[in-house]
Amino acid sequence: MSVLSGKKILLGVSGGIAAYKTAHLVRLFIKAGAQVQVVMTPASKDFVTPLTLSTLSKNPVYSSFFDEDQENGVWNNHVELALWADYFIIAPATANTLSKMANGNCDNLLIATYLSAKCPVYFAPAMDLDMYKHPSTLDSFHKLKQFGNTIIPAESGELASGLSGEGRMAEPENIISFLENDIISKLPLVGKKILITAGPTYEAIDPVRFIGNHSSGKMGFDIAKIAANNGAEVILVSGPTHLDVKHPLISLIRVKSAEDMYKACFSHFETVDIAVAAAAVADYKPKNVAQQKIKKAASTFVIELEKTKDILASLGQHKKNQFLIGFALETENEIEHAKLKIQKKNLDLIVLNSLNDKGAGFGHATNKVTFINKDFAIEPMELKSKEAVAQDIINKIIQHYDA
């Protein structure tokens, strides 16, 4: 999955021959899973039609402040367009458009939108060789970089003038690659490796029966996705669940029992920077597992149980510099029990769930948690979606490394 997946891309198209490439560029954004909105300068419509880009982006294309064919004069709000975007890419960026951007010469919708943008802005220059090297163009580059904008370097090749040299707009595939690499390089957890456990464990009674719990694994999977979206390399160890994840930074390891999960965690723990134990691991397992299906005979049936290995406590014993996060699901004396767990298991942070809170625990799309750190600072949170709680957990990790 591309880092652009789910992102809102505003594509600004200015009036150069390279504008014909934007049709392919829009398709690549869509293929990467992004939403695309296109703003064109009036001159760019001589090179590629709004209908083409509208069809490919599945959104209206804007090129003027109001629609002239609308009797009531509907205003195309450049501020709303700018605030909508996660990333603003101007490609091709002609010398004329670059100069207007650098000097605030606001005479069309694209420039007005650019001047209103709060998101990261990228520009892909496209012009002839001498224009690309001209001092005024170089001055525009310098100013735009000072503004915090990012240049997608032009490539060398055959130019519209018939000359060959630097100034050709980067190919659409290279623009996508540049964006992905640049975005990833700026993510807060780049270079960090995180181990996450998720889901239940199943402890066999016989070949067809087991002891388990109602954990869906959603919390752990959401944490894994958000960690990866923030640049972390993720090892996700999951018990039995219907959930799946496809992300280039997530390695999914499926296990069944607590023993399986223990072995998987310790095969990776030494190499990670962070561990989040979100799995609902069985505390006990049958002492003796029947090799054949147990037949229904006596009116009562007793299963002798023994403790499973405490994965979180073992990680706490073996941790060196890892930032270790555990979960606690309690029904009474929640804060006291969570504090004891922090001490006994050598945790840096615990995420406390109480089954007394409506909408929390297993079987809900929401969760209500309280964060308690190793210094016993307590931070209760509101009821949120599990995705939002996962984001809060990742924010705690980011804050730890920013401190």
Distance CA 167, CA 67 (A): 34
Q: Which residue has the tokens 């954004």?
A: 29
C-alpha 189, offset from chain centre: 11
Helices and strands (H, E) in the chain, number of each type: 13, 22
Task: Confirm if 119 and 148 have CB atoms less than 8 A apart.
Answer: no
Whole-angstrom distance, CA of residue 247 vs CA of residue 196: 15
All domains in the chain, ordered by first residue: 8-185 (3.40.50.1950), 193-402 (3.40.50.10300)
Identify the bridge partners of residue 385 per DSSP, sorted by sequence position: 366
Residue 181 falls in the annotated catalytic set:
no
Q: Decide if 310 contacts 346 (C-beta within 8 A).
A: no
Region class of 33: left (phi > 0), else alpha (psi between -120 and 50), else beta: left
Location of structure tokens 């000359």 = 163
Please report, as a single letter, which amino acid is at residue 329: L
Among 213, 288, 346, 373, the one annotated catalytic: 213
One pLDDT digit (tens) per residue for the chain, 403 residues: 788 988 999 999 999 999 999 999 999 999 999 999 999 999 999 999 999 999 999 999 998 877 766 555 667 788 889 999 999 999 999 999 999 999 999 999 999 999 999 999 999 999 998 899 999 999 999 999 999 999 999 998 887 877 788 889 999 999 999 999 999 889 999 999 999 999 999 999 999 999 999 899 999 999 999 999 999 999 999 999 999 998 889 999 999 999 999 999 999 999 999 999 999 999 999 999 999 999 988 889 899 999 999 999 999 999 999 999 999 887 778 899 999 999 999 999 999 987 666 665 566 678 889 999 999 999 999 998 989 999 999 999 999 998 7
Cα separation, 64 vs 46, in Å, equals 15
Residue 163 CA: distances (Å) to CA of 128, 156, 159, 160: 8, 10, 5, 7
Give the H or E element holding residue 315: helix 311-318
Angle at 155 between CA 149 and CA 158, to 5 degrees: 140
CA distance 374 to 391: 20
Question: Do 150 and 5 contact (CB within 8 A), yes or no?
Answer: no
pLDDT of residue 228: 93
Q: Distance (Å, rounded) from C-alpha 75 to C-alpha 306?
A: 71
Q: Are 46 and 125 in contact (CB under 8 A)?
A: no
**Residue 58 is encoded by which pair of tokens?**
């599945």
Tokens of 66: 């109001």
pLDDT recorded at residue 114: 97
The pLDDT score that the predictor gives to residue 71 is 59
Q: Minimal CA–CA distance to 195: which of 227, 173, 231?
A: 227
Cα three-residue angle 156-160-88, rounded to 5 degrees: 70
3-state secondary structure of 99: helix
Burial string for 137-158 (b: 16+ CB within 10 Å, else e) reads beebbeebeeeebbbbebeeee
Contact present, 57 and 26 (Cβ < 8 Å)? yes
